[in-house]
Amino acid sequence: MPLLEACIFAVVFIGFFGIIFKQNLIMKILAMDVMSTGVIAYYVCVASRGGLFAPIVDRTKSTVAYADPVPQAVILTAIVIGFSIQALMLVGVMKLAKNNPTLETDEIERSNTP
């Protein structure tokens, strides 16, 4: 498990450094998507436990450990929100591309600075 967590943290840091150091706006959006995927993977890694059953109503009176459905709902919500934010940022990049010949942040800042 520690190796898996180390790999997940590496993915998060790769995405974080991609956001900071990449100059192309599309690459920044992809780096943000990589970082959010790493965060979701870490949350799944922390929430996963063995020996738990799905919380389905059963007529038997046996006592078993049921899985908590809240982390699943949180992860699904995070995926949907991440997808919508990514789509919104891509629309913003398309609007910027109409006015600028490049998507490099330095060039856009230079052309829009008075």
pLDDT of residue 61: 64
Q: Locate the domains of the chain by residue range.
A: 2-51+63-112
CB 25 within 8 A of CB 105: yes
Q: Give the pLDDT of residue 102.
A: 87
Nearest CA to 37 among 15, 70, 5?
Answer: 15
Quote the distance between the C-alpha of residue 45 and its chain's center.
Answer: 14
Taking the chain (114 residues) in runs of 10, the rounded mean pLDDT of each run is 91 96 94 95 82 72 74 90 95 89 86 78
* CATH of the structural domain 2-51+63-112, one choice from 3.60.21.10, 1.10.1240.10, 3.40.50.300, 1.10.287.3510: 1.10.287.3510
How confident is the model at residue 110, as a pLDDT? 84
State the pLDDT at residue 107.
Answer: 86
The angle at the Cα of 15, spanning 32 to 69, to the nearest 5 degrees, equals 70
43 closest CA partner among 72, 68, 15: 72
Q: pTM (2 decimals)?
A: 0.80
